[in-house]
Every structure is written in structure tokens, then in C-alpha cells.
Amino acid sequence: MLSYFIRRILLALPTLFITSAVIFGLSKCAPHDPVLDLGDATFRDFRDQERAVYTRAKNAGLDKPAFYFALTTAAFPDTAYRIFPH
């Protein structure tokens, strides 16, 4: 029975990884821009529209590249030096 659970867990991990990778890839291949879907205002000047789109992207957190895995820790402060300054 223990070997059954171990086998199921070992099969579940690659399945979850492959599923999440496929969903991430499909979301990046979608033909729409989520920033443009956030608002439908019309602008007279292209610069105003560009500024509004940039502001919407920044507010939604979509102005940075999409990384699938983070290479840094999310914890801050990450060292004792920053916790206890001299």
C-alpha cells in the first residue's frame, strides 16, 4: 500500500508541472492583450493613450517580463545584516 502512494505521488508531480507549463504557454499565446482589456476609454492623442496603457500595466503588475520561475527569494529582508543594521 505504501508503494502505491509513493508511485501516485511521483506520478502527480510531473503531471502538475506539465499541466502548469501548458497553461502558462497557452496564456502567453493568447491573441489579446490583458492591459487593453482593462479599459475602453478613447483618447485624442496617441501619447495620452500610451501613458494610460503603461499606467494600467504598471498597476496590474503586467509591465515586467513574465518569468515562470523566480530565481530570487520572496522573503525580505533576506539576510541578518539587513535585519540588524550596524
| Chain segment 39-57, per-residue pLDDT in tens | 666 667 778 778 888 888 8
Using CA atoms, how far residue 2 sits from 5, 14, 77, 80, in Å, is 5, 20, 41, 42
The whole-angstrom separation of Cα 48 and Cα 41 is: 11
Distance CA 79, CA 77 (A): 6
Q: Is the dihedral of CA 11, 14, 16, 19 positive or negative?
A: negative
Mean pLDDT of the 27-45 span: 73
Q: Confirm if 60 and 34 have CB atoms less than 8 A apart.
A: yes
List the domain boundaries for the chain. Answer: 1-31, 32-86
**pLDDT classification of 9: cutoffs 50, 70, 90:** very high
